């Protein structure tokens, strides 16, 4: 069952908005976690036939075009205007071009579950970035402890799992850590420059900007790279576009209206666990004691940070 609430609009008309039942809300939240957790392995599957920038570019452009078709309806329901062009460009370059380009490139070498765990440091980077971006956002003792615990987990993964992949893996993993850092910077910029803007319009515009940059980069850097549009490659792009981007984005924004933000922050440490399990079960990826220990430290650090200060999560997959 669902509860209803009446809102009076500016013209005096009354609109009735239904809130979902707790069961429906939690089921949808679980679906978002499962889909986001699976996207990391689906990216890996697509990279067997497509070069990373091409795969990422086609996905983001397709998602941007679909968002453009849905935006007029979604934006009316959400409210808010367009963000400044500076924010749109920054979001497009950091969240969609650089972040997805790096994630896809990293997955061409590293296990998908391990990439997800390293990206899960995002809330820590938001906390650290907020400290220097705005002096008012001082870190609590719990957040500092969380950062140290997560750092220990990252170090453990670097000296064990990542080192075992090969000599090139260390540089790729270090580059990967810049992906959530770039998203953290754009997130803080949005918070301070476009807090009242429509997230639907912002994501539509920045997807198109970032997708265009990715496609152009692919044309310049991957024009000689082999690519095969096999059923697996095409299915990967379709799944990541429809479910991994548009579906999860729409449901997540909707859930933000009805669930406390701290409940949705659970996605920050449920998704990497699911990604590890999917990678081990369906991708043949290693799941060793050091993988579990390092992941536990990273997620534990993230949990301490989120409990100390309610940080809204984001997932880049």
- pLDDT tens per residue, range 198-223: 888 888 999 999 999 999 999 999 99
242-253 tens-digit pLDDT: 999 888 877 887
Cβ of 250: how many Cβ atoms within 10 Å? 15
Q: Does residue 298 carry a pLDDT above 90?
A: yes
* pLDDT digit string, tens, across residues 257-294: 677 766 777 787 789 999 999 999 999 999 999 999 99
Is residue 12 classed as helix, strand or coil in its secondary structure? coil
At 8 the pLDDT is 39
Statement: residue 69 has pLDDT above 70? yes
Give the helix/strand (H/E) hosting 133.
Answer: helix 122-133
Q: 115 and 99 in contact (C-beta within 8 Å)?
A: no
Which residues on adjacent β-strands are paired with residue 14?
Answer: 8
Does residue 10 surpass a pLDDT of 60? no
How many residues in total does the chain contain? 317
Kindly report the pTM of this predicted structure: 0.86
Q: What percent of the chain lies above the pLDDT cut of 90?
A: 55
What pLDDT is recorded for position 3? 41
Predicted confidence (pLDDT) at residue 81 exceeds the cutoff of 50:
yes
Report d(CA 293, CA 186) in Å as an integer.
31
Average pLDDT, the chain: 85
């Amino acid at each position: 069952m669902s509860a209803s609430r009446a809102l009076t609009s500016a013209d005096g008309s009354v609109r009735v908005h239904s809130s979902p039942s707790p069961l429906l809300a939690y089921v949808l939240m679980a679906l978002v976690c499962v889909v986001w957790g699976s996207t990391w392995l689906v990216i890996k599957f697509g990279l067997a036939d497509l070069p990373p920038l091409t795969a990422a570019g086609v996905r983001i452009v397709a998602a941007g075009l679909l968002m453009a078709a849905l935006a007029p309806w979604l934006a009316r329901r959400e409210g808010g205007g367009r963000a400044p062009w500076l924010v749109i460009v920054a979001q497009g370059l950091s969240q969609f071009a650089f972040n997805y380009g790096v994630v896809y490139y990293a997955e061409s070498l590293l296990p998908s579950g391990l990439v997800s765990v390293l990206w899960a440091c995002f809330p820590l980077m938001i906390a650290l970035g907020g400290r220097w971006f705005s002096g008012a956002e001082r870190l609590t003792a719990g957040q500092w402890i969380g950062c140290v615990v997560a750092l220990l987990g990252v170090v453990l993964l670097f000296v064990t799992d990542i080192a075992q992949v090969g000599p090139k893996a260390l540089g790729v993993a270090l580059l990967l850590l810049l992906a959530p850092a770039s998203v953290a910077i754009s997130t803080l910029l949005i918070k301070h420059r476009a807090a009242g803007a429509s997230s639907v319009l912002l994501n539509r515009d920045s997807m198109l900007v970032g997708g265009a940059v990715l496609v152009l980069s692919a044309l310049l850097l991957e024009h000689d790279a082999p690519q095969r549009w096999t059923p697996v490659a095409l299915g990967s792009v379709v799944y990541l576009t429809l479910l991994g981007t548009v579906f999860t984005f729409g449901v997540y924004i909707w859930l933000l209206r009805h669930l406390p933000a701290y409940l949705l922050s659970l996605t920050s440490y449920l998704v990497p666990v699911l990604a590890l399990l999917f990678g081990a079960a369906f991708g043949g990826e290693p799941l060793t004691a050091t993988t579990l220990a390092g992941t536990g430290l990273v997620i534990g650090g993230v949990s301490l940070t989120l409990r100390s200060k309610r940080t809204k999560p984001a997932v880049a997959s």
